[in-house]
Amino acid sequence: MSYGHADKLAAIVASTPAAGSEKPVPPIDPALCQRDDVRAVLAERDIGALYRVLKDEGITQRTIAELTGQSQSEVSEILKGRRVVAYDVLERIAEGLGIAREYMGLSYGEHSTYRGEVTVSDPREGDDDEMRRRAVLLAAPVALWGRALFGEVPKLSPPDWLVGHLPSRLGMIHVEAVADLLAQLRACARTWGGMAEVLGAVAVQAKRLLAVPGEDIIRARLGSVLAELHTEAGWTYFDSGVDDAADYYYCQALDIARRFGDRYQIAHALRHAGMLPLERGRFNDSLKLFQLGQIAFMPLNGSSSKDDPRVAPMTACLDSLQARALARMDLPDQAKSKLAAARDKWQAPDTFAQADADYRNADISLCLGQVDGAEQFAALSVRAWGDRDRRPAASTRILLATIHVRAGEPRGPQLAHNAITAATKLSSDRVRKRLLPLADELDARRGGDYRELARMARQVASTRV
């Protein structure tokens, strides 16, 4: 059996059209969308209420999931109250259920508010433009004293978040503003985890800038920033445990990077995309994605990326990620070879990059049964992170605790308690799920303390935030 060989796959895929599959005809009666209660639900984009209406009409959760491209567990969570705000998900739901997008304020068509028919909450009868302009002034006394002093507060329709002013011409200031926002949101996501719906909404909005004319050099910079933004959105959805949304944004990142010829961003997207199958047990799929990421840097049409200072650390990272996949596939010799290649190609530029590399080395060493080496790398990573960057620090603490508990070290229970506590402070489904292997190791030990820690770990791992 062969593994990986993404270069061969790339050649095959390039010459073979993808086979499509027809989507089932939505069993939604068009008359359903004309009901006043359903129109109100659509106008508010209350997907949970919409799904409940469909269930009342005899449509199963499984059918809803198939039509909307969601998992049954996601449909179940939405029915229990989880809100859907990302535009692309709302659009996919509308399309899958055969609902006119203008009913949900996602476009402007025959039935939109811009054609005379209100699809969001109706204003009070008698409200006029002057009253709307004075809405905040009218609302202020109610907020302060609970009384309307200057007139009744109008019930204003919520703004359509897709409607916004675009610049007449793209400037570098617009691009750098998006890049700066991305940096801040990334830092927040790396610290606390989650942030998926925020990153997803920002990515959808920022992509609208592609419609604005501008100089080629500015548009190229925009393409790079947008590709990176969509990759980050995919990563946060993966971190939140929403795999289908993660794949959507990774595909968007690849498409944008392709349009602007940014091979680095292609590799960047593939590096992150490969983490999803790696952690879901599809190791050969992840190996192919990491290999394709390295292929992105191969000379193309006489051009080369070797002078880009970002290439060496990226290829080294992809080597180490391939080593992780190969170690899990029980191919130790190949894993060690890739790990050696990663170390030869790159020296960490700072403490935090080294801490990240040490975490990967610890994980690979543990998979290869090298417990002592794994402990040394994990301990180095924990010391480097310290109290900064809580999310990666928590992952490393969980790994270090797992190693100590497996080895029967006396510090194991205390390290496990610290790791569980660190995970509870994060909005990261991915970090919490990493407590499960630690729980297994705790269960394998005798003693009430171990059992209680295992129970705590499983409880935190099963809690969605």
Whole-number pLDDT of residue 146: 85
Query: Averaging pLDDT over each range in 66-70, 100-104, 217-221, which range is the top one?
Result: 217-221
Residue 303, strand partner residues: 300
Distance CA 370, CA 459 (A): 29
Q: Is the dihedral of CA 427, 429, 431, 432 positive or negative?
A: positive
**Long-range contacts, 376-383 (Cβ 8 Å, 24+):** 378/403, 380/354, 380/355, 381/355, 381/356
Q: How many CA atoms lie within 13 A of 103 on its CB side?
A: 24
Whole-number pLDDT of residue 125: 44
Q: Is the dihedral of CA 379, 270, 461, 89 positive or negative?
A: positive
Whole-number pLDDT of residue 149: 79
Instruction: Dig out the tokens for 343 from the structure.
Output: 């170390």
Which residue would you say has higher pLDDT here, 231 or 58?
A: 231
CATH T-level fold of 348-465: 1.25.40
Whole-number pLDDT of residue 12: 47
CA distances from residue 173 to 14, 176, 214, 457 in whole angstroms, order as listed: 37, 5, 12, 46
Q: What is the mean pLDDT of residues 414-422?
A: 93
Q: 214-218, 308-312, 403-407, 417-421: which range is least confident on average?
A: 308-312
Q: 238-252, 356-370, 375-389: which range is least confident on average?
A: 375-389
Whole-number pLDDT of residue 21: 44
Distance CA 88, CA 204 (A): 7
Question: Does residue 121 have a pLDDT over 70?
Answer: no
Whole-number pLDDT of residue 5: 62
Q: What is the mean pLDDT of residues 385-395?
A: 79
pLDDT digits (tens, 9 = 90+) for 202-238: 999 899 999 999 999 999 999 999 999 999 999 999 9
Mean pLDDT, the chain, integer: 83
Whole-number pLDDT of residue 173: 94
% of residues, the chain, pLDDT over 70: 84
One-character DSSP codes across 82-110: -----HHHHHHHHHHHT--GGGGTSS-ST
Question: Does residue 127 have a pLDDT over 50?
Answer: no
Instruction: Dig out the tokens for 40 from the structure.
Output: 């109100």
Whether residue 338 contacts residue 322, with contact meaning beta carbons closer than 8 Å, is answered with: yes
pLDDT digits (tens, 9 = 90+) for 265-280: 999 999 999 999 999 9
Whole-number pLDDT of residue 29: 75
End-to-end CA distance of the chain: 41
Whole-number pLDDT of residue 306: 59
- Residue ranges, comma separated, of all CATH 1.10.260 domains in the chain are 25-115
Question: Does residue 131 have a pLDDT over 70?
Answer: no
Q: Residue 294's closest CA among 325, 316, 324?
A: 316
Tokens 């617009």 found at = 174
Q: Is the dihedral of CA 135, 137, 143, 146 positive or negative?
A: negative
- Residue ranges, comma separated, of all CATH 1.25.40.10 domains in the chain are 348-465
Secondary structure class of 300 (helix, strand, coil): strand
Whether residue 124 contacts residue 155, with contact meaning beta carbons closer than 8 Å, is answered with: yes
* H/E run at residue 373: helix 371-385
Contacts of 331 (CB under 8 A, 6+ apart): 3
Q: 29-33, 320-324, 418-422: which range is least confident on average?
A: 29-33
Which residue would you say has higher pLDDT here, 157 or 289?
A: 289
Contacts of 293 (CB under 8 A, 6+ apart): 266, 267, 268, 270, 271, 274, 314, 318
Q: Is the dihedral of CA 150, 156, 158, 160 positive or negative?
A: negative
383 C-beta neighbours (distance < 10 Å), count: 12
Give the right CATH number for 25-115 from 3.30.1370, 1.10.3470, 2.30.30, 1.10.260: 1.10.260
One-character DSSP codes across 243-264: HHHHHHHHHHHHHHHHHTT-HH
pLDDT digits (tens, 9 = 90+) for 6-38: 555 455 444 544 444 444 445 577 778 888 888
